[in-house]
Structure 1
Amino acid sequence: MPVTDEAIDKIKGMIISGELAPGDRLPKEAELAQRLGLSRSSLREAVKALCLIRVLDVRQGDGTYVTSLEPNLLLDAMTFVVDFHRDDTVLDFLAVRQILEPAATAQAAIHMTDADLAELRALLDEVDDAPTVEALVANDLAFHRRIAEGSGNPVLCSLLDSLSGPTTRARIWRGLTQEGAVERTREQHMAIYEAIAARQPELARSWATVHVAGVEQWLRNALGTAEK
């Protein structure tokens, strides 16, 4: 098991066992690394990964905390218990996302206000300033979260939000390894935005389907599980 994955598993174990409760602050980095038998660099990577899926929260100048598990984060915490580092499990998450996200995107084309659309467009404009693949993935997550919120269905939004964390690692992996992945994502995001802005729910649904299916197909190919 890679050292970062091992570090993530050890922190997960502390939370699942109750040693760290929601709202608790993690011990200082040096102390926690020694306690878990980890290098400080692998511990930092683990904390970064767990922050991406909102299991941990880094508060500048204060420390790192386990999230409070407020209602909007509850499903994130539930999926956190699932071993989201198994790539075949990620395929299952992507398959569910492929069912739900096009529906949410179609609803967003009906329900998003002009102000909502301006926020969505602003996220698209921020992509050019994203310096790393991780920053681009964070922007991608924010883009899809804004659309889910715009669907007008809070349950659907929470379900989609819970699927984001387990697929973050695969999205970063794709951005680092697949040629043209970042530019393709930008183009598809723009097509999704334009369909929503044009109030064309079925077109928006179609672009969302293409977008999510592309990630799933890439991962199947990478794992050697694509259908012959």
Structure 2
Amino acid sequence: MSLTDKAIARIRQMIREGELPPGAKLPPEQQLAAELGLSRNLMREAVKALVVARVLEIRRGDGTYVTSLAPGLLLEGLGGAVELLQGDTVLELTEVRRLFEPAATALAATRSTDEDLAEIERHLSAMRDAQDDVELLTCHDAAFHRAVVHATGNETLATLLEHVSGRTLRARVWRGLTDADAARRTIAEHEAIYRALVARDPNLAQAAALMHVNTTECWLREHLAEGEQTPGAPRRQPDHSRS
């Protein structure tokens, strides 16, 4: 580990062990550097890295503070990292979605409020109205699932799935552009999920969500097997050696 990495690890340890709880103000730079046996330059670099990671925040004219450490904040960088993944990792992310989303939907069936169900139904209704507009349909598709996961009350789960679905969103748009029957099937699958949620049936909700995600995954596998380009993948260059 570099000295900067050691400084970062030490500050993380202080936060983990409660010396610097969420919202706490860090000691002045010079004091903290002396306590950790580091130069001020190294301490400054460590603080910058932790600010980028949303662990710390600098309040101009006031000092440096530990953030709320909320999952939505700490995992925010995951979305940017996921967006850089290329090629067949679209399918890998769909597999991750298949593992998490049905379980989250089952949990939502036991925890969703009337307000949650109203929000979910609103996006389902908007999907029906947008059958001929692939991008708008897909936008409400994503919002539908976001509302379902929000109903679990689990911020960590909601954040993880939001970032995974953000990358697979383009795959769903692409599917809508190439499969004329996709809109009708997608709406039918979402209606099945909604009915299971209204019935407060976690097993049925999980099964309906699994069927829905599996449809997209099977479609992707089929098109990857045919050698077609997936959204976000680097474009294949022609092989001039065979010409």
**TM bin (shorter chain):** 0.5 to 0.7
User: 1:211, 1:84 → 2: CA distance?
Assistant: 26
Query: Contact 2:107 / 2:202 at 8 angstroms: preserved in 1?
Result: yes
1:121 aligns with 2:121: yes
2:93 is aligned to 93
The answer as to whether partners of 1:84 and 1:90 remain within 8 angstroms in 2 is no
CA 1:83 to 1:107, structure 2 compared with 1: closer, same or farther past 3 Å?
A: closer
| Matching of residues 164-175 of structure 1 within 5 Å | 164-175=165-176
Greater alpha carbon shift after TM alignment, 131-140 vs 210-219: 131-140
Deviations 1:15-62 (A, max 9, x none): xxxxxxx9xxxxxxxxxxxxxxxxxxxxxxxxxxxxxxxxxxxxxxxx
Structure 1 counterpart SS, 2:75 = helix
2:139 equivalent to 1:141: no
Q: What is the number of equivalent residue pairs in this alignment?
A: 160
Q: Which residue is equivalent to 2:182? A: 181
* Structure-1 residue corresponding to 2:112: 112
* Amino acid paired to 1:115: E
Question: Counterparts in 2 of 1:1-228, with a 5 A limit?
Answer: 72=72, 75-82=75-82, 84=84, 86-130=86-130, 132-224=133-225
Distance 1:121 1:212, change over 3 A: same
Cα deviation, residue 85, structure 1: 5.9
8 Å CA contact retained: 1:76, 1:161 = no
Provide the aligned C-alpha RMSD in A: 2.4
TM-score by length of 1: 0.64
Tell me the SS of whatever aligns to 1:199.
coil
Q: Could you list the per-position Cα deviations for residues 143-166 of structure 1 after superposition, in whole angstroms to 9, with x for gaps in the alignment? A: 000000001211111111111111
For 1:145-200, what per-residue CA distance to the aligned partner results, in whole angstroms no more than 9, with x for missing partners? 00000012111111111111110110001011123111101000000000010010
The letter for the 1-side match of 2:123 is L
Question: 2:72, 2:155 within 8 Å by CA — same for their partners in 1?
Answer: no
- Unpaired stretches in structure 2, ≥5 consecutive residues: 1-51, 53-69, 228-243
Q: SS where residue 176 of structure 1 aligns?
A: helix
State the distance in 1 between where 2:151 and 2:90 align: 25
Native 8 Å contact 2:97 2:161 kept in 1 = yes
Secondary structure, aligned partner of 1:87: coil
Q: Aligned-pair distance for 1:116?
A: 1.1
Q: Is the 8 A contact 1:84 1:166 kept in 2?
A: no
Query: Which structure is larger by alpha-carbon Rg, 1 or 2?
Result: 2
In structure 2, the CA distance between the partners of 1:174 and 1:212, relative to structure 1 (3 Å rule), is same
Amino-acid identity (%): 46
- Shift in Å, 1:83: 5.0
Aligned equivalents of 1:141, 1:220: Cα separation in 2: 21
CA spacing shift, 1:203–1:225, aligned 2, 3 Å: farther
CA contact (8 A) 1:120 1:146 kept: yes
Structure-1 separation of matches of 2:178 and 2:206:
27
Contact 1:188 1:211 in 2 (8 A): yes
Q: 1:53 is matched with which residue? A: none
State the partner residue of 2:10: none
**Cα 1:185/1:76, change in 2 over 3 Å:** farther
TM-score, normalised on structure 2? 0.61
User: SS of 2:96's equivalent?
Assistant: helix
